[in-house]
Amino acid sequence: MKFWIGAALVLALGVGLPFLPINEYVFYAGYVVLTFVVLATAWNILGGYAGYVNFGPPAFFGIGSYAAVVLFKSLNAPLVVQIAGAALMGGLLGLGVGAMTLRLRGIFFAIATVAITFILETLMVNWRYVGGATGLQLLRPPVELYASYTRMLFAVMVAMSVGAVAIARYIQTSWLGRGLRSLRDSEEAAEASGVPTLKLKLFACAVSGGLMGAAGAPMPMYLSFIEPASTFNLSYTVGSLGGAIIGGMAHWAGPIVGAILLGTLQQVVTVTISNEMNVLVVGVLLVVFVVAAPEGILGLARKVFRR
């Protein structure tokens, strides 16, 4: 109950804030941070709960972006439909990746997910309809309600974040989450305890992929542009993994804390120092956390408060 009140408050705040006369940049940067909240939360469903490290968030994010562009260009579909289509494509790709878990574990699974990113990027580079390598300029439809398209997208992303977190929280606290945890600890023992490991892995991959796809859907409209190199950029991998690892992977709140912290820091460093420096900062933070606090900020906080 407490969770739902909190979720409703965040949602109300997210939808209401863009009406206020606040500097446009806040929403411009906030949108990116929220994208990483969704990505890290989605990544954690497979990576944190089930223990399958997915290095391919750009593949899911990118397939979502391109699905949205195709829907927009061919049918002039509204944003909601674009997001739904993107989630569907991400989910389907997730099922494919889930099937790979039959044979691939650990580092081999991780490498395969990187390969999928490159394959998809190459496909899009060679697909004329969506602009190929040079990309495609997109004309934003007019916005109602909000003063600008960016403000509207910010509200949409807040809603998506709340939705993603609610899904992740449900999975974590239900029998699904306990099943995923058991297979992360030992797949053989999980099977021997009656856990249908393959079905659960497919489910986790599909949900995780679907959410990442959905997160990618508004990006082309946000930029008014799409092209393969930035859409399938590995920085999405770093953002998703980094958010989850820095925040803590055992709890649904971890990726939120991590992604907000990391995303905000990245925005600040990009603006005040340089874009290159921001990559360095993320790298250093990741190393520090993996070595000094493998359970993330949440794990650290738990230790401190127990004392």
Partner 1 sequence: MSSILKIKGVSKTFGGFTALSNVSLEIAQGERFGLIGPNGSGKTTLINCVSGALRNEAGSIEFDGEDVTRLPAYQRTRRGIARSFQVPRPFHSMTVAENLTVPLEYIAHKGSLHVADTHAEALDLLRQMKLADKADTPSRNLSQVELRKLELARAMAARPRLLISDEAMAGLSGSEVEEVLEILLALNAKGITIIMIEHIMQAVMRFSQRVVCLDAGRIICEGAPAEIVKNAEVQRAYLGA
By CB under 8 A, name the binding residues for partner 1: 174-175, 178-179, 181-182, 184-186, 188-198, 250
Shortest distance in whole angstroms from residue 192 CB to partner 1: 6
**Closer residue to partner 1 in complex, CB, 185/276:** 185
Shortest distance in whole angstroms from residue 94 CB to partner 1: 21
Shortest distance in whole angstroms from residue 44 CB to partner 1: 14
Shortest distance in whole angstroms from residue 184 CB to partner 1: 7
CA distance 177 to 195: 11
**Closer residue to partner 1 in complex, CB, 192/304:** 192
Shortest distance in whole angstroms from residue 295 CB to partner 1: 11
Shortest distance in whole angstroms from residue 20 CB to partner 1: 42
Question: From residue 197, how far is each of 97, 204, 214, 296 by CA, in Å?
Answer: 15, 10, 26, 27
**Closer residue to partner 1 in complex, CB, 114/176:** 176
Q: Do 254 and 240 form a contact (C-beta atoms < 8 A)?
A: no
Burial class (CB in 10 A: 0-12, 13-18, 19+), 25: exposed
DSSP per residue, 6-69: HHHHHHHHHHHGGGS---HHHHHHHHHHHHHHHHHHHHHIIIIIS------HHHHHHHHHHHHH
| Residue 136 three-state SS | strand
**Closer residue to partner 1 in complex, CB, 87/200:** 200
Distance of CA 3 to the CA centre of its chain: 21
Residue 78, φ and ψ in degrees, nearest 5: -70, 165
**Roughly how many angstroms between the first and final C-alpha of the chain, as a whole number?**
29
Q: Do 232 and 70 form a contact (C-beta atoms < 8 A)?
A: no
**Closer residue to partner 1 in complex, CB, 97/249:** 249
**Closer residue to partner 1 in complex, CB, 51/131:** 51
